[in-house]
Amino acid sequence: EVQLVESGGGLVQPGRSMKLSCAASGFTFNNYDMAWVCQAPKKGLEWVATISYDGSSTYYRDSVKGRFTISRDNAKSTLYLQMDSLRSEDTATYYCARRGSSFDYWGQGVMVTVSS
Amino acid sequence: DIQMTQSPSFLSASLGNSITITCHASQNIKGWLAWYQQKSGNAPELLIYKASSLQSGVPSRFSGSGSGTDYILTISNLQPEDIATYYCQHYQSFPLTFGSGTKLEIK
């Protein structure tokens, strides 16, 4: 059974950093591109970033370029999202998703609240 | 960037009826379109990919169609468990973008 389990969320002050993790199981992690998608409270879905199966290529939405870094450790079957210089508008539930483009499995999501 | 215009924003329909949700892309996305269902408090689930391919395990009451810039999600024989918000998403190129969502209510 495919499982994606996010962790690392919580309350953080504006301008600070936070790192999210997504532990994958039930499939061959290094065969798949992976992605992060977020959803602000009561709002719609927004794609954040995608990383290729081997980590060689990464893609970001404009609003996070230069602040967020997607990475992966294939030996640990884990996806990461390093979020720096956080802003109040980054407040959202962050989902990791399998496949980099159309997302066939999603984690349960982790909430990130950016507030002083 | 490709913009996805989804309509309607809200839909109310009766059990057993059929509904359609439309999604218009600002440029030709060549069928690279997915539809998702998100029930309250849950993560989204993939329903349809490549415009019309049904994801494994999804009931055949769900179907997708379209090409170029215009796409449709159809749900036939509405069931109580279909109460959810539905999103379209293109994946023709980066950045990937979602439609604004359609909230479905059962009358």
Average the pLDDT over A74-100 and give the result.
Answer: 97
pLDDT tens digit string along B77-100? 999 999 999 999 999 999 999 999
Residues near A95 by beta carbon (within 8 Å), at least 6 away in sequence: A6, A36, A37, A38, A39, A106, A107, A108, A109, B43, B44
Q: Is A80 helix (H, G, I), strand (E, B) or coil?
A: strand
Q: Residue B107's pLDDT is what?
A: 87
Backbone angles phi, psi at A79, to 5 degrees: -105, 145
| Cβ atoms within 10 Å of B58's Cβ, excluding its own | 16
Instruction: Please indicate if any CB of chain A lies within 8 Å of the CB of B64.
Output: no
Residues linked to residue B23 through DSSP beta bridges, in sequence order: B6, B71
Sign for the pseudo-dihedral over CA of B78, B3, B54, A109: negative
Q: Residue B90's pLDDT is what?
A: 98
How high does pLDDT run on average in chain A? 97
Chain A residue numbers with beta carbons less than 8 Å from the beta carbon of B32 are 101-102
Q: Residue B1's pLDDT is what?
A: 95
pLDDT band at B63 (very low <50, low <70, confident <90, very high): very high
pLDDT tens digit string along B23-32? 999 999 999 9
Q: Give residues 65 to 104 of B whose Cβ lies within 8 Å of A.
A: 87, 89, 91, 94-101
pLDDT tens digit string along B48-58? 999 999 999 99
Q: Residue A100's pLDDT is what?
A: 76
